Structure 1
Amino acid sequence: MLVVHPLSLGTVTCLVLAFALFATSLPTNVEKGRRKVVHVLEDDTGAVIVQTAPGKVVTHRGGSITLPCRYHHEPEGSDPNRIRIKWTKVTDALVFEDVFVALGLQQRVFGSYQGRVSLEQNGPGDASVIIHNITLEDYGRYECEVTNDMEDDTGFVNLDLEGVVFPYYPRVGRYKLNYQQAEDVCKEQDAILASHAQLHKAWLEGLDWCNAGWLEDGSVQYPISHPRDQCGRKDTPAGVRNYGYRHKEDERYDAFCFTSNLNGKVYFLKRFKKVNYAEAVKACVRDGSVVAKVGQLYAAWKIQLLDRCEAGWLEDGSIRYPIVNPRTRCGGPQPGVRHLGFPDLKFRIYGVYCFRSNEENVNGVVGKPTRRPGKNSKDIQMNTTTTKTL
């Protein structure tokens, strides 16, 4: 039995339990995502005891998730309208973004969370919030603060997303991106910069990439599953190599991006002839779609198990194709998204991968026409590379 000793915080004491005692994870329907069930411990000191989810809660883009935070307050006759509940997101060291605050019946939701966050209200002492229509940017660490008069304490919940990490470099070549540019190119490809935890998980699943890339915390790392001399020496152990935190403006690397579940479908457009880039854009639009982004193709490969042994244009002007079931004629023995480089936009011809959203706008047109990627139409490279994530 666990004995909880009172803390010297006056009339209100908040105790955050950062371990997995009494916590279980129960499956729910797809709309609710996955959540943690937390059991609240009570003591006899008249204290407030707060418990948040140990570990993390997991969902996917477009889903809903409960961030658990419960408290028990004695004496029971205390006015609940004097309890303030505040949720913030930890965006950086000592930097917080307001998400939600409630004082009695008064509630306020902030920024991009407006219309998506509400109290769960599952009985007395429930400070949990539900976030609907999860976005990639919702990934991260959240703080739950419960306050009574002048006393407060906090607990933390980590929100994780199911998805896929992929390396990215633009048409201009390798090691051309500072930190802000790396953030931008990931967003342009329907993704965000990956976290260290996401990259480490991808490495455990088999991701092997010999070029260093930015992560969301400003560090530069790369995953090696098969050590070799050209990737930091053959006699060094496998793992995620870390260059540490680099100068965000002056230094240039590639990017590691992360994306999650698609609100739509990626498909290879069946045509009688291959096309150049401009013709590919028009073909997708005529089919009620747009040319797929790199992140969308990776999500379709990883989550929707898209397997197609035909090279096709993507929105950034690259040529790629997804392989779930490896075969000799489709680029080697490992699953992954094959990358054939950035060919000439006008004179090289291929198939095309299109993306059709599940939601159309009021005019019935899906998305926006894809702009021409870059100004340089010269071939930069056509070497075949494979991003392997098992």
Structure 2
Amino acid sequence: MITVKLYLVMILNLYLTSEQSQSKKNFYFHKIRLHVESPETLVSGVQGSNATLPCHYRYEPALSTPRRTRVKWFWQPVSGEGQERDVMVAIGTRHRSYGDFKGRVRLRRSAPGDASLVINPLQSDDTGRYRCEIIDGLEDESVTVHLKFRGMVFPYHSSRGRYLMNFHEAKEACEKQDAHLATFEQLYASWEDGLDWCNAGWLMDGTAQYPVVLPREACGGTDLAPGVRSYGIRDKSLDRFDAFCFTSTIRGEVYFLQHHIKLNFTEALEACQSDGARIAKVGQLYAAWRFVGLDQCDAGWLADGSVRYPIIQPRMNCGTSGPGVRSLGFPPKHLKHGVYCYKVHW
């Protein structure tokens, strides 16, 4: 039998629970909520230019007096591996940037609540996942924006021959050609655009892969469907492959130097310098072919000692297999060819 005392305790608990529930409802109803949003969660940029990663915050209902907020941006590489790294933090007009982003980032602040991040200039390693976090002392919210480069992938091998570079050598080789190792996403997009290459190359994630549009015996057999074939994760020091490099839009001009005679490699270097330029790199030639439409049926030296030429409209004596950058390999440097120069536009 329930005693009178116990009954009164139960009634009191029910009353208090009801009051607390109603209090919570009233508190939530009157609470000012912080919203952090981005109209674009995927931003494309080009190396050497600038990019704006949108981030906006607002309160609902609107504040009668502004709160002191802290804006913080974080970055994580495309692979998603490793912890987030600080990009910048800002409180009011005071801000601080970190690491490789130092001096290259700022907040746009075009309107109240605009915490968009401006990066200028974009560097080859800037692609990845960016998180915008707003903290006002009472609560914090964040939104994520992904940055990728517009560009193209090209295959590259050592001047000593094929399948001779470990991961670190492949990464360095791409960087020397004004490019960087491609990501899987970049290689896949290039495969969708028609890149067909039967030699495996390193990618940024440490895998070795190659894109096949037309299945054939020499590229894994005719029984396999078109796609990006993978050797999986490889030993970065011991295993050796070619490389897939990614290049983005260039800031300068690539051109075939009109010269009265053909040149050996040393003469080609000097000729570009005399013209106020420098000899072009492989990545720069590919970018000029892809983004500027450079079409030149003349083989010319490049900085790595290779001889190539870009074709937009295939024609007799210029290769008829379709558009592309034709390669004559790495001939002896005493042989005579033309030269492609690169002139920077500031």
For each residue in 1:340-367, what CA deviation from the matched residue of structure 2 results, as whole angstroms up to 9, or x when unmatched?
Answer: 1111112x211111111113xxxxxxxx
Residue from 235, 252, 261 that aligns with 1:247 = 235
Q: Which residue of 2 aligns with 1:115?
A: 103
Quote how far apart the aligned CAs of 1:261 are. Answer: 1.3
- Partners of 1:280 and 1:242 lie apart in 2 by 39
Unaligned runs of at least 5 residues, structure 1: 1-9, 11-42, 360-390
Aligned residues: 316
**Equivalent position of 2:67 in the other structure:** 80
Where in structure 2 are there 5+ consecutive unaligned residues? 1-23
**Match of residue 314 from structure 2:** 326
Q: Find 1:64's aligned residue among 39, 44, 50.
A: 50
Provide TM-score, normalisation by structure 1: 0.77
Which among 344, 351, 356 is matched to residue 343 of structure 2? 356
What is aligned with 2:288?
A: 300
Shift in Å at residue 140 of structure 1? 2.1
Q: Which amino acid aligns with 2:70?
A: R
Counterpart Cα distance in 1 of 2:149 and 2:316: 33
Contact 1:100 1:110 in 2 (8 A): yes
Between 1:190-199 and 1:62-71, the stretch displaced more is: 62-71
Rounded to whole Å, the distance in 2 between the matches of 1:118 and 1:303 is 29
SS in 2 for 1:174: coil
Q: Is 1:215 aligned to residue 212 of structure 2? A: no
Q: 1:94, CA displacement in angstroms?
A: 3.0
Query: How far 1:155 moved relative to its partner?
Result: 2.0
1:232 and 2:247 matched: no
By how many angstroms is 1:114 displaced?
2.8
Higher alpha-carbon deviation: 243-252 or 348-357: 243-252
In the alignment, which of 200, 208, 224 is matched to residue 188 of structure 2?
A: 200
Query: Corresponding residue for 1:147?
Result: 135
Read off the aligned partner of 2:197 and give its amino acid letter.
W
Within-5 A mapping of 1:162-181: 162-181=150-169
The structure that has the greater radius of gyration is: 2
Report the secondary structure of 2:287's partner residue.
helix
| Contact in 1 for aligned 2:41/2:144 (Cα 8 Å) | no
Please list every run of at least 4 consecutive aligned residues from structure 1 whose deviation after the TM superposition is greater than 4 angstroms: none
- Pair 1:262-2:250 in alignment: yes
Aligned match for 2:112, one of 124, 127, 148:
124
Partner of 2:274: 286
1:56·1:160 contact (CA, 8 Å) conserved in 2?
yes
Task: Normalising by structure 2, report the TM-score.
Answer: 0.86
Match of 2:93 in 1: 105
Using the TM superposition, give the Cα deviation of residue 330 of structure 1 relative to its aligned residue in structure 2, in angstroms: 0.8
Contact conserved, 1:47 with 1:73, CA < 8 A, in 2? yes
Q: Is the 8 A contact 1:88 1:98 kept in 2?
A: yes
Q: Which amino acid is 1:56 matched to?
A: L
Deviation at 1:47, TM superposition (A): 2.1
Structure 1 residue 186: deviation in Å?
0.7
CA RMSD of aligned residues (A): 2.0
Q: Tell me the distance in 2 between the aligned counterparts of 1:166 and 1:44.
A: 58
Report the alpha carbon displacement of residue 187 of structure 1 after superposing the two structures with TM.
0.7
